Amino acid sequence: MNLFVTHVESPLGKIAIVSNGTALTGLYFEGQKHFPADTSEWIRDASPALHTKTVDALSNYFVGCTDSFKLPLEPAGTLFQRRVWTELEAIPRGGTLAYSELAARLGTPSATRAIGSAVGRNPLSILIPCHRVIGRNGDLRGYAGGLTRKAALLKLEGAPLSLSYRVTV
């Protein structure tokens, strides 16, 4: 299967948009954890129409003109990971959810670590809003794109960043 990649600049750094031509399979910040190890087969700068739509949607997002993305997504992952990622899409713009609350919503209250691992492996940053998941005391924990980006995305979305938000590593 061919995978296409387009690199674009954003206010938070370079982003790689990856698709199979009909659905997005990845959206990665430069230098983010869990970036695919082998990209040698990716067809660069082919710019399928889907990539143009994605660039437009991201541009609108970064200036605050969109609340949701209407793009076809096909993230590769385990059944458990996909369940977690689906639940992430239900967190509204400007909202946050603790890892423990996410685990409870999924009916697995004792699986907070597994939930955190699945959130961290999300291949579609921003589009599947894993940045909206925080520590139960308001700590900004774990974001594959970096905690500075996580804080910036939450601020951009109007999440109530207060003194309770602390960047912890």
Distance between CA atoms of 15 and 5, rounded to whole angstroms?
10
20, 3 contact by CB (below 8 A)? yes
Place of tokens 């983010």: 32
10, 55 contact by CB (below 8 A)? no
Q: Supply φ then ψ for residue 50, to 5 degrees.
A: -60, -35
> Is position 65 annotated as part of the catalytic site?
no
Sequence-distant (≥ 6) Cβ neighbours of residue 40 within 8 angstroms: none
Q: Per the residue annotation, which of 130, 140, 153, 159 is the catalytic one?
A: 130
Catalytic residue set: 130
